[in-house]
Chains A and B, each alone.
Chain A
C-alpha cells in the first residue's frame, strides 16, 4: 500500500487499514486540542446580520456562547464635536444621520431640546404635524426592523412586504419635505413646511391600507412554527436587569415595564391622543416582536386622531433668525422608535452650543447584548442583535 492509498480521503467503507477514525484519533491525542474547550470567534464588522459595522467577539464552548464583547466605533463621526462647532440651526440636519432609519424622531428630539432652551413652544398645528410625521417614522423604523430581523432568522418574505409598505411612508415624507430618509423635516420652533395638498388624505389612505398589511405580517410570523421556535425564550431580559442596564423602548416594555415617555412625560401634543402602551410578559425575542407589531397599530391610531384633529394656524413659533439661547442647560428626551433619545445641551449664550450630548438609545441598549446571549447558541446571537433593533449610526455617532 502506498502512502497515497492510506490517505483517509481515499479510504473506502469497509476497507481495512487506516481510515477516517484513525486520523481523528491521532488529532485528539494532541494535548492542546484536548484542552481547547473555548473558542474565540470574531463576528463582524463586515457581517450581514450585525446591521452595520458592529463587531462582536464571541467566546464559545462548542456552539454555546460563554461571553461576548462588542467592539464599536467604526462609524464614529464625532457628531457631538460637530455640534459644538455649528450653530443651532446648522446642526439640525446632522442629527438625521444618527439613527438614519428614524431621522424624523431625531430631529424632533433635537428641535424640542433647543425650544426648551429658548423657552419657546411650537404652535398646535406644528405639534400635530410633528406627531403625524414622527409616528409615520416610527412605523417605518419598525418595518425596517421587522424585515431585517426576520431575514436574519431566515424568513425572507417579510422583508419584501415591509419594504413595499414602507415605500408609502417614504413617499409621504418625500412629498412633504423633498427627502425620503434624512428628512430634516422640523425646524427649531415648529415646522418649515405646511402640509401639502392631500397630506391628510395620503395619511388616512396609508392608515387604511396598512392595517390589513400588518395582519399579513402577523400571518407570516406570529404562529409560524419556525419563527416561534427561533424567538420564544431567546434573549430573555427581566425587568430588573432592563432598568439596571438602562434599556428603554420596546425592549423594556416587552419585559413588562409599562413605560413610555409619550405617556410618562408627554411632549408635543401626545396627551391629546388616546393610545395604549403594549407590554410583554416574558421579555424574550418573541414578546419584543409582538410589542413592536402592536406599537405599529397604536401609531396608526395616533395618526388617525391627529389627522382628524389637525388644527389650523401658524406652523412655526416666533424664533429669532439668529438663535442665541440664554445661558443654561437642559436635558430633554423623547420616545424614539428605539427607546429614550435624549439631548443634553449646554448653552453659553452664543450662537453655538457649548456642549451637545446625545443620549442614544441604541448605544445603551446594545450593552444588554452580553447579558442576553450568555448560554445561548451562536445562531441566537443573530436573533438577539436583530431584536435589540440597533442602528450603528446611532451607536457610534
Chain B
C-alpha cells in the first residue's frame, strides 16, 4: 500500500501546531518594580514561607554571582509579582492570595487552601494554563501547617510558567485536581505515596511506587533515610532485612 507509506513530513513547519512565540524573558520588566508596592508581603514569621530568607541581612542584597570569598553574599529575594493576573487575583480573593511573588524570575502564588481548587480551575479555564507540569509537596515538620503543596503550571499560549502553592496541616485532605488535568492522577498518587496527603475525590488513590501495605511515608522529614518497613520486607521478600 504505497499511499500508506507516505507519512507526514516532520520537518515541514506545522500550521496547526501551537508555535510558542519568541522566547519571552523570564522576568517581565514590571517585576523589577521596587518592593514598596503593596503585595501582601508575609511579615509574620508563622505564615512566612520557607523561601523567605530568614537570616538577618548581613549585607544588602548583592548579586550572588560574585563569588568573593569574603562575607557570604545574600541571595536574591522574592519580589512582588506585578501583573494583570496577579492584580486581578488579588482584587478578587483579597487575603486568600497570601503571596504573589517572583524569585529568580520564577513566578509563584501562595494561596489559601480554601480557594486552591477555584484558583486552579481558573488558571486553566481563564488564564490558559492548560498544562499541569508537576504536583508535589514539601514537608516542614516544625510548622503548624506542615505541608506545602506545589502545583507547577505551564501555559502553552503564553509560554509562561507559574507555581501555585498552598499550605496544609497534617491530616488535611486536598480536593483532587485530576478533574482539571488528567495528569494529576498519578502525580497525586505519588504525593499520597510519599507524603501521606489524601486527595478528596481522587478516582484511584493508592500507593504507586511503594507496594500496597507499606507503612510510613518516606519523603516526610521524620522518616530516616535508612528506615524500612521491616515487617513488610520479612513477610513479602522472605529475608530478614533489606539493608
Q: Which residues of A contact B (CB under 8 A)?
A: 72-73, 76, 78, 80-82, 84-85, 116-121, 222-223, 225, 228-229, 232, 239, 241, 243-247, 253, 256-259, 263-266, 271, 276, 278-282, 286-287, 290-291, 293-294, 297, 318-320, 324-331, 333, 340, 342, 344, 346, 348-349, 354-355, 357, 359, 363-364, 367, 396-397
Contact = CB atoms under 8 A, between A and B. Distances in A.
A223 B5 CA distance: 5
Interface in B178-194: 181-183, 185-187, 190, 194
Contacts of A72: 208-209
Given A228-B5, A279-B14, A319-B67, A245 B183 contact: yes
Contact of B152 (A241, A318, A359): A359
A17 to B, nearest CB: 48
Given A117-B104, A120-B64, 7 more contacts: A81-B219, A246-B133, A287-B7, A327-B51, A330-B104, A346-B51, A367-B182
Nearest to A276: B11
Contacts of B194: 80
Contacts of A120: 64-65, 67
B119 interface: no
B34 interface: no
Interface centre among A81, A85, A229 (most CB of B within 10 A): A81
Contacts of B183: 244-247, 364, 367
B134 A357 contact: yes
B238 interface: no
B134 A287 contact: no
27 contacts: A73-B211, A76-B209, A76-B210, A80-B194, A80-B219, A120-B65, A223-B5, A225-B5, A228-B4, A245-B182, A246-B181, A258-B17, A258-B19, A258-B20, A263-B23, A279-B14, A279-B17, A326-B64, A326-B76, A327-B50, A328-B53, A331-B161, A346-B50, A349-B55, A359-B134, A364-B186, A367-B182
A364 to B, nearest CB: 6
A342 B8 contact: no
B123 interface: no
Given A72-B209, A263-B20, A287 B8 contact: yes
Interface residues of B, number: 65
A244 B181 contact: yes
Contacts of A291: 10
Interface of B: 1, 4-5, 7-8, 10-11, 13-14, 16-20, 23, 26, 50-55, 63-65, 67, 72, 74-76, 78, 103-104, 106, 130-134, 136, 138-139, 150, 152, 156, 159, 161, 163, 181-183, 185-187, 190, 194, 207-211, 218-219, 223, 225
B64 A119 contact: yes
A4 to B, nearest CB: 45
Given A76-B209, A264-B23, A328-B76, A244 B55 contact: no
Nearest to A86: B225
A253 B74 CA distance: 42
